[in-house]
């Protein structure tokens, strides 16, 4: 069975205020073309269809169009909701849409109800695990406490129980939206670490023939059966060196997997340039980037006048300007962004408490209350996003 694995479309997202609407339309055209030319048997979309819980009309129109086109091709397609999606909104009409071969899996209560596909070797059970926010779904899985690993582990127990009751030789595919240990993150994924450790162990997917992962924006292989497709477009300059692709996966009759990467269209190359303003404006080595989206880091010891305007005369698509002087006094304070880079919300909040109360620090009870407060904020935000407008 031939599967096309993609994820993290983030329909409606822009790139440093540059619209990506046409680039996303081009990608979806490309996806439909690949489905046709490569004789794909099923499409797997592992979450973050939209960029936000309340997507704009243009983003909804793109999604609606691709649903119709995939249905017209009679190619089964399985979607799960990601942490950017509103699960309830994405799942509206799922029962009716299923009749067209489009399966929207957004309900945590249905993780053990697979989409059943078949080829000449027998059945393939495709389980869709939507993004599972621990605070919101613990009770549904019978858990009093626990983070991402606990809730995803409970979901996988239900998957395995269902699979064990199926005929011997049934092949299994799981779609999941999570941060699996060993994956490499970029700057454009929304942090999911509130409530405890964000990552989950790869062993949770042992025994599954193929796990189609979403959330991380770089395509990567954690094991032959465990892969991230990555996002089809770059959504931050940290992705400048990433090759944006989809996975074309062949699932053999014995459950073994072979896969190849299918390149996605690139609307405009990304370039991260570093040097003094004079070097960037005059250096011949930068000529190839004159039509790229540019992030420029200036190393001048003092900020030059009108740097963005001058850069855009040579690089008209300069979108981000940073300053990192090559020579700084040893006692120069770090910027706030530098101090908090790589920290999650809880670590930032703890750092603030230590800063304003250096003598006493943060006790165990206070740390638990702080974590509980951040969990409450996240839950409240997600609940508000689900409310009708």
258 and 312 share one domain? no
Q: Is the pLDDT of residue 193 over 60?
A: no
In this prediction, residue 347 carries a pLDDT of 74
Residue 253: CB atoms within 10 Å: 12
Range of the domain at 345: 336-386
Number of domains composing the chain: 3
16 and 95 share one domain? yes
Q: Is the pLDDT of residue 232 over 50?
A: yes
356 and 279 share one domain? no
Residue 53 maps to a domain:
yes
94 and 11 share one domain? yes
What span, in angstroms and rounded, lies between the C-alpha atoms of 118 and 251? Answer: 11
Residue 209 maps to a domain:
yes
Residue 134 in tokens: 């621990």
42 and 123 share one domain? yes
Domain boundary among 302, 323, 344: 323
330 versus 270: the higher-pLDDT residue is 270
**pLDDT tens-digit series, residues 344-356:** 677 777 777 766 6
342 and 274 share one domain? no
32 and 114 share one domain? yes
294 and 254 share one domain? no
184 versus 169: the higher-pLDDT residue is 169
142 and 190 share one domain? yes
Residue 317 maps to a domain:
yes
Domain boundary among 248, 263, 278: 263
Residue 23 maps to a domain:
yes
Residue 131 maps to a domain:
yes
Residue 367 maps to a domain:
yes
Q: Is the pLDDT of residue 107 over 90?
A: yes
Contact between residue 132 and residue 156 where contact means Cβ atoms under 8 Å apart: no
> In the chain, where do the E strands start and end?
2-6, 14-15, 18-19, 42-46, 77-80, 102-105, 115-119, 122-129, 171-177, 179-180, 199-200, 210-214, 220-223, 226-228, 245-251, 257-263, 270-275, 293-298, 318-323
274 and 366 share one domain? no
Domain boundary among 240, 263, 286: 263
What span, in angstroms and rounded, lies between the C-alpha atoms of 194 and 87? Answer: 19
Please state the rounded mean pLDDT for residues 191-205: 75
Residue 330 maps to a domain:
no
Comparing CA positions, the residue from 13, 24, 128, 5 lying closest to residue 66 is 24
56 versus 184: the higher-pLDDT residue is 56
Please state the rounded mean pLDDT for residues 299-328: 94
Please state the rounded mean pLDDT for residues 213-219: 96
What span, in angstroms and rounded, lies between the C-alpha atoms of 290 and 282? Answer: 12
356 and 303 share one domain? no
305 and 249 share one domain? no
What span, in angstroms and rounded, lies between the C-alpha atoms of 283 and 281? Answer: 6
Residue 328 maps to a domain:
no
Q: What is the CATH classification number for the domain harbouring 74?
A: 3.60.21.10
What span, in angstroms and rounded, lies between the C-alpha atoms of 387 and 389? Answer: 6
Q: In angstroms, how far is the first alpha carbon of the chain from the final one?
A: 42
Please state the rounded mean pLDDT for residues 149-177: 96
């Amino acid at each position: 069975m031939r599967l096309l694995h993609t994820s993290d479309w983030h329909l409606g997202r822009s790139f440093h205020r540059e619209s990506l609407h046409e680039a996303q339309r081009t990608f979806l055209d490309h996806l439909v073309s690949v489905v046709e030319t490569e004789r794909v048997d099923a499409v797997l979309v592992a979450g973050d269809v939209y960029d936000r819980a309340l997507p704009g009309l243009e983003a909804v129109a793109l999604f609606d169009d691709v649903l119709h086109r995939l249905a017209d091709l009679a190619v089964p397609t399985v979607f799960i909701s990601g942490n950017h999606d509103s699960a309830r909104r994405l799942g509206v009409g799922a029962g009716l849409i299923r009749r067209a071969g489009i399966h929207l899996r957004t309900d945590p209560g249905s993780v053990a109800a697979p989409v059943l596909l078949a080829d000449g070797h027998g059945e393939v059970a495709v389980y869709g695990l939507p993004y599972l926010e621990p605070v919101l779904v613990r009770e549904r899985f019978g858990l009093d406490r626990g983070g991402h690993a606990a809730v995803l582990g409970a979901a996988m127990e239900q998957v395995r129980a269902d699979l064990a009751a199926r005929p011997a030789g049934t092949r299994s595919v799981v779609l999941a939206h999570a941060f699996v240990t060993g994956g490499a993150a970029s700057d454009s994924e929304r942090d999911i670490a509130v409530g405890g450790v964000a990552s989950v162990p790869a062993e949770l997917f042992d025994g599954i023939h193929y796990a189609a992962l979403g959330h991380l924006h770089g395509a990567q292989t954690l094991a032959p059966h465990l892969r991230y497709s990555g996002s089809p477009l770059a959504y931050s300059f940290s992705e400048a060196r990433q090759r944006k692709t989809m996975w074309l996966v062949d699932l053999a009759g014995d459950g073994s997997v072979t896969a190849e990467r299918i390149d996605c269209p690139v609307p405009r190359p990304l370039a991260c340039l570093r040097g003094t303003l004079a070097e960037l404006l005059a250096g011949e080595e930068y000529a190839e980037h004159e039509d790229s989206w540019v992030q420029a880091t200036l190393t001048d010891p003092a900020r030059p006048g009108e740097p963005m305007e001058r850069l855009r005369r040579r690089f008209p698509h300069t979108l981000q300007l940073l300053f990192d002087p090559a020579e700084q006094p040893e006692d120069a304070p770090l910027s706030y962004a530098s101090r908090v880079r790589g920290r999650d919300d809880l670590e930032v909040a703890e750092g603030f408490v230590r800063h304003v109360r250096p003598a006493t620090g943060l006790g165990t009870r206070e740390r638990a209350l702080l974590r509980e407060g951040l969990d409450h904020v996240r839950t409240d935000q997600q609940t508000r996003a689900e409310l009708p407008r």
